[in-house]
Amino acid sequence: MSKKAIGKIIIIVAPSGSGKSTLLTRLKSDFPMLRESVSYTTRTKRPGEEHGIHYFFVSKDEFLKMRDQNEFLEWALVHGDYKATSRAFVKSHLDRGTPLIFDLDVQGADYFKKEFKDQAKVIFIAPPSLEELEKRLRHRNTESEEAIQVRLKNANAELDRMFDYDFHIMNDDIDRAYKELSSIVTEILEN
Ligand code: ADP
C-alpha cells in the first residue's frame, strides 16, 4: 500500500553571503522533484521574468488586500517591496504530495514552523564566522558598502537563532557543506 501523499516542506535559512545560492543551485539540480514556491511581490518585473513563473506580480493595493484577507502564509517588506508566500499555492502542492523548498529569513521560517509544525523542516546554513562572511560578501562584489553593513548586522542577529532550528550546517568548505545538505534533504524526503 502506498503511503498517503503528504508534501514535505524544506526551508533553507541563511544569512546573506553564507553560500545559500551556491548550495541551492546544486541542490535543485540534484533533487529536481523539489518544487519552489512562486512568491507574490510588489516589485517591478525585470526583463525575462514571467508572471506566475518567477513571481506573481501584483500592485501594492492588491497585495495589502490579499494580506488582510489572510491569503499569505508569511509576508515581508524587503528593501521597500512586499513579498509573500501564498497559502493556496502551498496547500495545492502539499495536497498532491509535492515536496516544496523555500528560501526564507528567520521570521518567515518561524511562521512556517508555527503553521506546519514538524511537516516543515528548517535547515540553517551558517558561515564559519562573521569575518569570513564579510570577506565573501566583499569578494562577491555585488553590494555597496552600506548594503554590506546592513547584511552583516542582520547576519549577526540571524546567527543567534541558528540552534533553534531542525538542522544546521556550517559552510566552511563548499563540497563538505553540500554533502551534508544533500544527506539531510535525502533523510527528510525518505522519512
Ligand atoms: P548567499 O546566497 O547566501 O548570499 P552566495 O552563494 O552568493 O551566498 O555566496 C557568497 C559568496 O561566497 C559567493 O561569492 C560564493 O562563491 C562564496 N562562497 C560560498 N560558499 C563558500 C565557501 N564554502 N568557501 C568560500 N567561498 C564561498
Determine the Cα–Cα distance for residues 184 and 123; give it in Å rounded to an integer: 9
Instruction: Please give the pLDDT value at position 5.
Output: 55
Nearest CA to ligand 1 atom 22: 174
Give the Å distance between the CA of 99 and the centre of ligand 1.
25
Examine the pLDDT at 167 and tell me if it is beyond 90.
Answer: yes
Of 16, 125, 140, 143, which is best to mutate to test ligand 1, by the most ligand atoms within 8 angstroms of its C-beta?
Answer: 140
Please provide the average confidence, as pLDDT, over all residues in the chain: 93
Which residues fall within 8 angstroms of residue 113, CB to CB, at 6 or more apart? Answer: 120, 122
Determine the Cα–Cα distance for residues 117 and 138; give it in Å rounded to an integer: 37
Pairing of strands 72-78, 81-86: antiparallel
Nearest CA to ligand 1 atom 11: 136
Segment 148-175 mean pLDDT: 94
Nearest CA to ligand 1 atom 13: 140
pLDDT tens for 25-46 read: 999 999 999 999 999 999 999 9
Where does the pLDDT of residue 14 fall: very low under 50, low under 70, confident under 90, or very high at 90 and above? very high
Measured from CB, residues less than 6 Å from any atom of ligand 1 are 14, 16-22, 136, 139-140, 171, 173-174
Ligand 1 atom closest to residue 14's alpha carbon, by position in its atom list:
3
pLDDT tens for 48-105 read: 999 999 999 999 999 999 999 999 999 999 878 999 999 999 999 999 999 999 999 8
Ligand 1 atom closest to residue 139's alpha carbon, by position in its atom list:
14
Which residues fall within 8 angstroms of residue 14, CB to CB, at 6 or more apart? Answer: 20, 124, 125, 126, 171
For the chain, domains (ranges, CATH) are: 9-190 (3.40.50.300)
Give the Å distance between the CA of 59 and the centre of ligand 1.
33
